[in-house]
Amino acid sequence: MYPDNYRYTKDHEWLRVEGEAGTVGITFHAQKELGDIVYVDLPKAGTTVEKGASFGSVESVKAVSEVYSPVSGEVLAINELLATAPEKVNEDAHGEGWLITLKLRDAGEIKDLMTAAEYASYVEAES
């Protein structure tokens, strides 16, 4: 359910690293808890984000939830598809429903994130 090559936060975001860039999204668990997502607010490319700081929000029929950056960096791209199809986050949270891509400032921050197995245990303990 949670890809092994991703890293996870306790706030239910994921990070997939490819070279000096990292793609960020919310986890399957997070989208399931939120329910039907109707709007996604993302920063503009070029924005600097800090590890643990909010960079946008996801609005569902139940609530609006802040999204926090798992690492620090500069936004290289946002998922433009979500402007017209926010439901992609529900349909494919770990794929087409990605939120932003960052240029990583400090790859060492990745070590502070959970592995897929650790995140699965964390979610199970939360329930």
CATH of the domain at 11: 2.40.50.100
Whether 89 is covered by a domain: the verdict is yes
Domain span holding position 92? 6-122
DSSP-derived 3-state class of residue 117:
helix
Whether 1 is covered by a domain: the verdict is no
Quote the number of domains for the chain: 1
CA atoms within 13 A on the CB side of 4: 0
CA angle centred on 90, ends 21 and 34, rounded to 5°: 105
At 104, the pLDDT band (50, 70, 90 cuts) reads very high
Mean pLDDT of the chain: 96
Mean pLDDT of 76-86: 97
How far is 117 from 30, CA to CA, in rounded Å? 16
At 126, the pLDDT band (50, 70, 90 cuts) reads confident
Whether 127 is covered by a domain: the verdict is no
With contact defined as beta carbons under 8 Å apart, do 58 and 26 qualify? Answer: yes
pLDDT for 3 equals 85
Q: pTM for the full model? A: 0.95
At 2, the pLDDT band (50, 70, 90 cuts) reads confident
Residue 1 has pLDDT above 90, yes or no: no
Whether 11 is covered by a domain: the verdict is yes
Residues near 90 by beta carbon (within 8 Å), at least 6 away in sequence: 31, 36, 37, 97
Identify residue 91 by its one-letter amino acid code. E
Whether 82 is covered by a domain: the verdict is yes
At 5, the pLDDT band (50, 70, 90 cuts) reads very high
- Give CA 12 to chain center in angstroms: 7
